[in-house]
Amino acid sequence: MVTDDNDERHKLEKDLGIDDEVGQSRNNEVGKTNSALALMNKKFRMIHRLLSLANVMPFGRVTMHSLYLTSKIDLRLTLTLIRL
């Protein structure tokens, strides 16, 4: 799904002559006049936001789980074992 949408977007950009651009400046300018490109940009942004959120969520879960695990460690026992 995402790959197909990306391929369509690159094809449209090539047809519009903005495929060699790095960044979004000309893409946004052309998107104001070309409704198909504007729709693809909007869909791309939505998918990008969702995937970014999906990547951040596991990091938060690992952080919370790490905090939970560290709260279960008895520091007195740990310090005693380190001194041995």
Provide the pLDDT for residue 19.
Answer: 75
- Lookup result for tokens 């969520």: 57
Provide the pLDDT for residue 58.
Answer: 95
**How many Cβ atoms sit within 10 Å of the Cβ of residue 40?**
20
* Each residue's pLDDT tens digit, 10-62: 888 888 888 777 766 777 788 888 888 889 889 988 999 999 999 999 999 99
**Residue 13, Ramachandran bin (φ over 0: left; ψ between -120 and 50: alpha; else beta):** alpha
